[in-house]
Amino acid sequence: MAKPISPVLIAAKDISIRFGEQVVLNDATLNIHQTDRIGLIGTNGSGKSTLIKIIAGITPPDSGNISRKRELITGYLSQDFTLDESKSVFENIMDGAHDVIDILREYESLPYDSERRHILEEHIHLLDGWNLENRVEAAMHSLNVPDKNRDITTLSGGEKRRVALCKSIISRPDLLILDEPTNHLDTQSIEWMEEFLEDYSGACLFVTHDRYFLDSIANRIVELSNGLCYPHEGNYTDFLIDKAERQAQLTSEDKKRNNFLRRELEWVRRGAKARTTKSKSRLKNYFEVADKEGFELEKEVDLLIPPPQGLGNKILNLKHVGMELGGRKLFSHVDLLFDKKRKLGIIGRNGLGKTTLLKLILNELQPTEGIIELGDRTDINYIDQSRIALNDENTVLKEIGEGNDWIMFGENKTTVWNYLRRFLFADDRINTKVGKLSGGERSRLLLAKILKNGGNFLILDEPTNDLDLPTLRVLEEALVDFDGCVIAVSHDRYFLNRVCNGILAFEGDGKVHFSEGNYDYYLEKRKARLAAEVEIEKQKKLESTTKNEPKKLKWKEAKELETIEADILKAEEEVHRIEALLAADDFYQKHGEKLEQYTKEMNAGKEKVERLYARWNELEALKNG
């Protein structure tokens, strides 16, 4: 049965745009349907951000047609978003819901019996307008947005981005356009975003390098390559399979083409003595095929991390490490012992102490408890992309070579030129000024600059930020093959699964948990651990409830209660008999030798009476609830 086609919200046909000599889009066509969750992918500099700005109506194309559904409401989060610095966090977020607020105000201004009022009421219901403030509060909490009364000017870049994301989603537009929505979000916030978009009633077009996000949310992948859009049904995994099959087919066709050309070329070289109609036709066919471009596989970064020097027996040890800052305990009792193949992923919400732990390892801060031991042969290369600046006035060659023609690659050396070619810099781009590079080229250059320093212990702080998917895959493979230790702080779950063999999770409330294996294994074990904790808590509550519950009188206890008074009376009579015997005037004359025996029997009888009375009270209490 054919899949039903939902209504088209936007139809963009033959869209072209160029910036100077660079053609960004060349007759690109993209249709967005009401039920679409489109993941837009492509190498850095391929024009993804430009295309979504055109779709959002921000940038006009040089040519082409764009048709939009009437009264289409669009929400848009760009990479270069702006917030109103004169307003608070909450006021900025509410600006994103101005359409809903305008409808609510108009509704309240109309007479009760107005026909327009009833139409607006239905519209408000569809937009969940009555629940607007509750939705804002929930989204702010889930996205870890700063306090609603904070001044925008006091926020960090990551905090501002979370505010802007919250602002873009809160009105629930017909079409939500998101450019890198997962940047600066921790794993829990990303997972909340996934849940939000899974239940979202509108369409969504998003650009992201988060492959888990693409797999979870996208029902269509659109690849932007050479200025054209190539649609694929399904999620990111489906796209990879489709693309591999397509490339295999094109490679096969190209092989056939080359074989044909080789055979025909041999025939041409032999020279046809008689230029018959058949031979002329064959010659024409040869030149037509020869003029066509052959299939060429996409180039990928040939990224190799410089071979590290050998590590010693002691690499890095953390023993009962804890840290307190500003009177707040971030974490305590962190124990880690690194071996030569450890590749550790560090995860957790922002602000829990991940970067602080890195600073402790780098000896930039001292722990408030515990000790950190660094091996004599451990050579740390801290790769923090935000700390390394590129000089726009330098050429690419000068930026990497720094006046040298060679760079050391392990114990060997290679030319700067060859090193840059590994990062897909063509000869003409190597002499280009850094300021004229595309976004994708800058990211590759930055990666080349920070990796050339070598080291046998790499520390990477959010290494996947701003890298395109092909470069990400190659970086992952290089780190897996790296013959040294790695610590990577990352929210990229795909990266954590491919690279890491241990996870250190900052789980909040000062708790830090280490788990062997990759991210998925950590999640599996965490789920089991939380389930066990819930079960223990249930058992404690059950035991507490059982202890406090009024017990009922059992049948055997009821029969005991029926006879206990007689037993008490009998025991008391026996005590009285012995007391009377001991008090008799002639006791010593008749029973003097049995004094000790009778005394013991009297004391035992008294204890028995006390026990029987206590049991009688207990049984009466059970009987009366």
* CA 2 remoteness from chain centre: 35
Confidence band for 276, pLDDT divided at 50, 70 and 90: low
- pLDDT number for residue 443: 73
AA identity, residue 70 = R
Q: Which two structure tokens, joined as six digits, stand for 249?
A: 């087919």
Average pLDDT over residues 72-95: 86
Q: Rounded to the nearest 10 degrees, what angle do helices 236-270 and 277-291 cross at?
A: 140
Average pLDDT over every residue of 587-594: 73
Question: Across the strands, what pairs with 153?
Answer: none
**Is the per-residue pLDDT at 1 higher than 50?**
no
Please compute the mean of the pLDDT values over residues 604-625 and round it to a whole number: 82
Q: How many DSSP H helices and E strands does the chain contain? A: 21, 20
Segment 347-375, tens digit of pLDDT: 988 888 998 999 999 999 999 999 999 99
316-325/228-233 β-pairing: unpaired
pLDDT band, very low/low/confident/very high, at 271 (cuts 50, 70, 90): low
pLDDT exceeds cutoff 60 at 294: no
Nearest residue to 465 via CA among 166, 213, 210, 221: 210
| Least confident span in 59-68, 183-192, 365-374 | 183-192
From edge to edge, which strands make up the β-sheet containing 228-233? 74-77, 175-179, 203-207, 37-41, 220-225, 228-233
Q: What value does the mean pLDDT take over residues 281-299?
A: 59
3-state helix, strand, coil in the chain (%, to 5): 50, 20, 30
> Comparing 587 with 378, which gets the higher pLDDT?
378
- Hey, how many other C-beta atoms are within 10 angstroms of the C-beta on 367? 21
pLDDT digits (tens, 9 = 90+) for 491-502: 889 899 999 999
Q: Is 323 helix (H, G, I), strand (E, B) or coil?
A: strand
Is-above-0.85 flag for pTM?
no
Q: Supply the pLDDT for residue 274.
A: 44
CB 513 within 8 A of CB 507: yes
Question: What's the whole-number average pLDDT of the chain?
Answer: 83
32 contacts 7 by C-beta, under 8 angstroms: no
